[in-house]
Structures are given as structure tokens and as C-alpha cells.
Structure 1
């Protein structure tokens, strides 16, 4: 029989429905792997073993109306509340905070049958593209334990890549699903703005942040997206309902698409590493082989957009409530970012937002000519632990911008985007490519990604620690 951790989430659910596996067996298997392997990876900040086994036991007793992910173990990013578990948000000031209720996205995953095992590591308040916090060890890509898993959903991507869970919940406000998915060689989806409600307690006035799935396969990610999607009362943003399930899209031929190629970074002076350029060209050639029309994109996002995104991000950093007496307990980069955000006037904030809207209207006029847009996910391969964190705050931010010059544009526009793990460099490091779609176009991206996965399967590419 195939080892449990080599089964996809949907295969595990099918085995439970067929009576071949018990939810308790699945959960205990994942917990054993976490205990054995995670000290080297740093994917989890909290493991709720007793709670997860009890929940799996209740699932095992259910015989009728079994939901699609029945009994499947998943991990939840530690910015999101799970009742009875710590929600540290990667910060020492929140290290002892325990949630008394689930956030909506967790409620929906439970309704789909998933069993949360614990909370995955995130940087403080999810503010950085790497995962090195004060409440847990640095999170490392399973492909090279000296290198960062990325962030801010670094723990989620590392947990999936190491085979600790078959799929995980993440969130993305500036690339935070796609960045670690690239660094860890897994598939991740940032959905359309408003596709997944941030309710009831996580408002985002700018619509930058969305939850999203991370998984080893396109079908698993689509199944999680189906489970998480939908609006909630009072949402500022709500995407139109899709015509059907996203899982069905993974089994559908995308047809011949017109796809734009874009390798010009939004961040001034950002340099694209040769391995990332090679991954981009390789993906472009593969898409052309599959029959798609590849077209060089016109200029879409200017450097001024990066500066205005930074303004919004510094203001968002101030919204996490911290007792003034605890500010000194925050990490230096967080304190610096919050101080900058407090200096932004209301007028400056609204002007930045207005410039973004004007730039996006011009960009959409060009993007509407394409079904999808291909670019590198990152400008460089996974970087060593400490590359950002050991620098002073201003240099830290500069390095982050130069590492991730593509991702944030689609948080500003609200478009869906995915990381597709098609390429590994000569050092064995994963190098993802990003494909963005039209607003509401997750179905097309899922169909296209499934076509790429079938043409060049990545499911069985596993890091050495997988077998540890």
C-alpha cells in the first residue's frame, strides 16, 4: 500500500470514504511525521495533537453525508484563529493568546471535513517575505535546510513540501502564498479579491489580503479553494460566484489561451537571477508546446506602484493592536515599519490609493487582451536563513523588494495568481513561475495549471527530508 504521506488530500479522503483508512490513522500518521521531522524544518509553531485526535475520532464515527475532505489533516496559518489553539501571529506579544472561536475560513474547512492539526509558522504579523519570528525557529525550505522557506505562509508551504500534511491554509497580502510555494516547490493559489471572506474579524480596507490554499497537486488546491470560498455578511469585497466547482476546472481542458510573457519587475533596479529567467523561459516554451499563444506583454506596472504599495503596507502594519508598553517586545523590523506607518497622513494614504487605482485602470486596459500573464514568481532562488532578518530594517526592506518584485501587483489589482512548481535549478532548489488571470478567472488558472502538471508532473519530486 502507498505510504499515507504520499497520498494526496483527495486520495486520503477517498480512502476514508472507502473504509480503507480511518481519520484517526491519518491524523496520527501526520503527527508522528511532525514530531520526527519538523524540528529540522520549523513549519509548525503549535501542534494540537490531543485536540486533532479527538476531532478525528468524531469524524471516524460519521457514516452519512460525508463531506469532500472528510478526515483529511490540514494545517492553519498562525495569523488565523482556531478555537482552543494559540494564535501568536508570529509575535512574542501574542505568544499566550488562545482563540475561543474559529475564523470563518476554518469553520468552512471543518465543514468540508478537514481536521486542523495545528498552526504553521509565520513572521510577526505576516509582514515579511521570510519566516523568522520570535516564537518559533526559522522556517526552512525542505529542499535545503540552510535556506528560507519564504513567507509569510512559510510554515504552510514547508509543511506541505516535507510531507507533514497533504495540504495547508495560507494567506496572501503581497505574495505570501506564492513566495513560499515557489521556495518550497509546491502549488499555491492567491484567489480573486473577495473570493474568500476575511470575516468575521479580519477586515482589510484595501483588499490586499486573501486566504488561499497550498498543496502538492492542483486538484488538492482546487478542492481546498472550493471549501474556503464564499462571502460573509458585511464584506467590503465579494467576487461573483464561479459557474461551478474549482475542482471540476482541474479536469477541464483550458483550450488555446493567449498568454502574455512579463519579466519586467515592478521594483526599480531589481535584478532577475539567471535561474529564475531560465525557469520563466522554460515555462514559456512548455506553454507554447501545449498550443498556447505566447505574446510579450506591454508595460503593465510602473515603479511608482511599488512605492504606493509600500505606503499601504506600512499603514496596515499599524493596525495590529499592541499595548504601547509592549512595543519594545516587537522585532526591530516590525517596530520600524509601524513607526513609518504612523507617520503617513490620511491625505497621503488616500493619494497613494488613488494613484494605485489610476495605474490599475491603465494596466487593465492592456491586460484584458490576455487570458493569463506569465512571470517569474521570485527574482532569485531561496535565500539563506538570515539574509533579510540580519540586516538593518531599511536594508531588510530593500532586499525583500528585490527578492519579490512581481507578486504584490496582483494583490493591488485583486487578480488571481498561482505559483506553479515546474523547475529545479542545478543545485536542486525549486524555482516557481507565476501565472495571473483575469478577475474571477481562477477556473482558467486551475485548468491551465493542471495541464502543465500533466505535461510535467511534479508530485513525485520530493526533498531528501521527506524520507527521513
Structure 2
């Protein structure tokens, strides 16, 4: 018998619209899943059952059914503020902080009619690409509980993969949606800079951090992205004159149709290659080959891209990442409660000369221009999603910040440059390891090119058939 959590978010949306299930019934179902499964998975920082059921009743009575996410459950990443709900940011420093106002992204999902069930787990301040902290339970990969779920939207990914949520919003400043999505066999979307009004990246240092969806299917990801972009329907209301170019959506149609033939480049080099020993694991290469063969059979043009070394990238990106950590609102004695990686990044960032920061920002602006020129002849560029298989819990060095940073780069060298260049990207699961853990690929689009990415990803999804599934143990 099919349970509610076996349905896709789009199917649940249709069931809600028909009245086959109510927001309260759906909320109760997922809350029961969370109560049963989360002690093993560690996907949630906070669960709010009373508030969720009250919200479900409010949505039923007072929110028009035309709201794009009407009645659908999700969770807020614990970097985002929801009034009255603890916000811990994955840190022991903020165990008692309860905001009295919600931030813009939370307001956007509410305006779209969604029902928040709580806060999904994140590593400290979203800085690492894994979700394991001194003060929190590790977030585990539902496909193999000995493995991590990735980060920093690791809690969101683990919750969706295990069927504790139909989909979830995340944030991505260097791969924080795509890394956990790829680790947990999900579709993850990093939108173009400027695309999502409440998480545009335009106000973040170097324009890195944007908001986007994690979901089991391409269509589900498009459904959530549409809700994040335009909670009250299109056209989206942007606060900035600058916004992503291209089709403004909605993107669900492109994801459902999956039409078109496109010219794709295949990229296996990364801008980290000159600074770190980057090696693509056989499982990651096999996933890339599966995608290449499938896309060729679908009639897309495929062309291997020549390497384009960027020896200045590592120093410039590290400078920006450390400068971002310098703004963490922790000073004095509470710094001792921060994790070693966070302390290392914070100390390096606060010691940076202004000139070095300015030079790094200027270098990355030039890098963005070079990447866009390099990709200009392609409708999309295909890369491995990860260079390695998902890492075991405890694999990252907890004490040596320099080594820890290097481990993260070696695990995921293909994500951060997409944030620097402001381009959209989507990860899609296409294969699995000998142990049954999913492996995926990444498609990178032109500025504002989300519709093309959804079209290609939907075709790839249909061809390889990796979506929809939960691990058998769940």
C-alpha cells in the first residue's frame, strides 16, 4: 500500500487541491515520520508539532488554495529565523536564542502557503560541507547511516531522502544545496544570482549565497523553486533593479515537459586543481559516464571541454570564505565554544588586510567573466556532482582547520566556482555505488538559464530512473 510520503510533492499538491487529504492530515503524517525516524538520522534541529498543526489549520481556513505551496510540509534551515522558534545556527553559542521576527525566506514560504514542521539541521553557521558538530548529533545519510549527509543543508537533504519531508528549502554559498542533495540521492538546485528575491545572493559577500530547493524529483524541485521566487504567483516581486536574466518562470512546466535538444560541454577540471590534489573517484566518473551516454542517446550534443587552469582561484576564494567567517557575531569568551574549523576561519578572516580582501573580490569578478565566456557556446555544462563518494561520519579532521578545508575541497571541487560566477546549477542522481548509495552529476546553466536546466534534468531523470525512491530501510 502506498503511504503519503511515497508520493512526490507534486502528487501531494494535486491531492491537496482535490481535497483527497487535508493540510492537517499531511502534517500529522510527516510529524509521525519525524518522531519515528529522526532519532537515527539527525535531520532536525527543532521540531514544532503544535505550531505546525496550528499553521495547517490556518492554511486550511485562511490561505487561498491558489498559493503555490498550499498545505505542503517543509522545514526551515536552521540558519533562517522563524519568530518564536529557537535558532541555533548549528552552534553551541546560540543554544538559547529565540528570534521575535522571521526573516525574508521564512516569510516567503509562509506566503506561498507551506507548513513548517521545524528547523532542519545545519553545521555551525553553514560553513562546512558536512553536517556534523560538537554540540549536535551528526546528520546521517539515509542510504547508509555510517555516511554523512553532506552540508550545509544536510538536515534538509536527510529529511527529504528518508521521507520525513516531501521537499525542503536550503541555502547554497559554495555548494550547500548541491553537496547534500548529491550525497543523499536528491535533486538540488542552486538558482542564478538574483533569481530568488528572498535569497538572491546580491547582499552576500561576493554574491555567493542563494536560496533554493532540495527534492526527490526534478518537478518537485521546480515546484518549490517557483514558490520561493513568487509566493503570490508570477511575476516575482524583486527588491533590486538587478535580477537574474532569462525566463522568469514558472519553471514547473519546463520540468514536467522536459523538452528540447541542447549542446552540452563536459567539464572534468576544476579551479582548485592547481592548489590541491583533486582526483575523481571511479564511482564519480562512472556517474558522469552514465549521464553522458544517456544524454547522447537523447540526442543532445556533447563535447569534452579543454582544461582552463585558474591558479589564483584557491587564494581568492579562501580569502572570501575567511572574510565571511569574520562577521560571525561571536566575540571574547564565547569564541571558546566555537568549533575548531570555525575558530580557524574566524581568526584568519579577522586578520585579513583590507587590501587583500579588495584584491580577492576583484580577482573573482574577473574569474566570473572568464567562466561565463568559457561556457558561452554551450546551453549547459555537465560535471561530476562530487569528486568522491559520500564521506563517512567522522572523516573530516575536527581539529586542523587547514587540513579540514583541504578535505572539503577534495570532496567537492565542482561547486563553489558556480556560486562565484552566479550561474544556476542542478544536481541529478544517475547511478549508485556497489553499496547502493546514490551518485549524481551537476548541470550548470547560462545566467538565468534555469528553464533549460530543468528541461535537461527532466530528460535525464526519465532516462536513468533514479528519482522518487526512499532507501528501503525507511
Q: Same fold (TM over 0.5)?
A: yes
1:237, distance to aligned residue in structure 2 (A): 5.1
Do the aligned partners of 2:205 and 2:324 also contact (CA within 8 Å) in 1?
A: no
Matched, 1:242 2:247: yes
- Provide the residue aligned with 1:304 in structure 2: 312
Q: Which digits, 9 at most, give the CA deviation of each residue in 1:266-315, with x for residues without a partner?
A: 22321111110111111111111110000011334524213211110010
Runs of 4+ in 1 over 4 A off after TM superposition: 62-65, 198-202, 230-237
Structure 1 stretch displaced more, 323-332 or 175-184: 323-332
- The within-5 A match list for 1:42-441 is 42-62=42-62, 64-198=64-198, 203-229=203-229, 235=240, 238-240=243-245, 242-268=247-273, 269-300=277-308, 302-441=310-449
User: What are the superposed Cα offsets for residues 57-82 of structure 1, whole Å, 9 maximum, x if unpaired?
Assistant: 12233485442321110011110111
- Structure 1 241/444 Cα, relative in aligned 2: closer, same or farther at 3 Å? closer
Taking a change above 3 Å as real, the CA distance of residues 162 and 357 of structure 1, as seen in their structure-2 partners, is same
Q: Deviations over 1:177-202 (max 9, x none)?
A: 00000110000100000111346999
Q: For 2:12 and 2:445, how far apart are their aligned partners in 1?
A: 30
Query: For 1:214, what is the secondary structure of its paired residue?
Result: strand
What secondary structure, in the 3-state scheme, does the structure 1 residue paired with 2:145 have?
Answer: coil
- 1:241: Cα distance to partner? 6.4
**In structure 1, what is the Cα distance between the partners aligned to 2:360 and 2:268?**
25
For residues 241 and 74 of structure 1, the distance between their equivalents in structure 2, rounded to whole angstroms, comes to 28
Which stretch has the larger CA shift, 347-356 or 244-253? 244-253
1:178-234 Cα deviation digits (max 9, x unpaired): 000011000010000011134699931311000110000111110111111167776
Normalising by structure 2, what TM-score? Answer: 0.94
The Cα of 1:54 is off from its aligned counterpart by: 0.6
Instruction: Give 1:235 shift.
Output: 4.4
Contact 2:201 2:209 in 1 (8 A): no
Q: Distance in 2 between matches of 1:258 and 1:417?
A: 16
CA contact (8 A) 2:201 2:208 kept: no
Q: In structure 2, how many angstroms separate the alpha carbons of the residues matched to 1:201 and 1:321?
A: 20
- Residue 347 of structure 1 and its aligned partner are, at CA, apart by 0.7
Query: Are the counterparts in 1 of residues 128 and 152 from structure 2 also a CA contact under 8 Å?
Result: yes
In structure 2, the CA distance between the partners of 1:195 and 1:184, relative to structure 1 (3 Å rule), is: same
Name the CA shift for 1:426/1:197 in 2 (closer, same or farther; >3 Å): same
Q: Distance in 2 between matches of 1:183 and 1:132?
A: 14
Q: Which moved more, 1:152-161 or 1:107-116?
A: 107-116
Decide whether the 8 Å contact of 1:167 with 1:213 is kept in 2. yes
SS in 2 for 1:206: helix
Asked if the contact 2:74–2:166 (Cα under 8 Å) also holds between the matched residues in 1, the reply is yes
State TM-score, norm by structure 1: 0.95
Aligned to 1:461: 469
TM-fit CA distance, 1:236? 8.3
Work out whether residues 109 and 224 of structure 1, in 8 Å CA contact, stay in contact via their aligned partners in 2.
no
In terms of mean alpha carbon deviation, does 373-382 or 323-332 score higher?
323-332
Q: d(CA) in 1 for partners of 2:349 and 2:241?
A: 22
Distance 1:78 1:421 in 2: 25
Compared with structure 1, are the counterparts of its residues 64 and 461 closer, same or farther at alpha carbon in structure 2 (3 Å cutoff)?
closer
Contact (CA 8 Å) 2:197, 2:239: kept in 1 or not? no
Q: Which runs of 5+ in 2 are unaligned?
A: 231-235
Deviation at residue 99 of structure 1 after TM alignment:
2.2
- Matched-pair contact (CA < 8 Å) for 2:194–2:200: no
Computed over aligned residues only, the root mean square deviation of the Cα atoms, in angstroms, reads: 1.9
Whether the 8 Å CA contact 1:187–1:218 is kept in 2: the answer is yes
Q: Structure 1 387/77 Cα, relative in aligned 2: closer, same or farther at 3 Å?
A: same
User: SS of the counterpart of 2:75?
Assistant: strand
What is the DSSP-based 3-state SS (H/G/I as helix, E as strand, rest coil) of the residue aligned with 1:436?
strand
Answer whether contact 1:45 1:135 (CA < 8 A) is retained.
no
Q: Per-residue deviation at 1:176?
A: 0.4
Distance in 1, Cα, partners of 2:427 & 2:65: 34
Shift of 1:361: 1.9
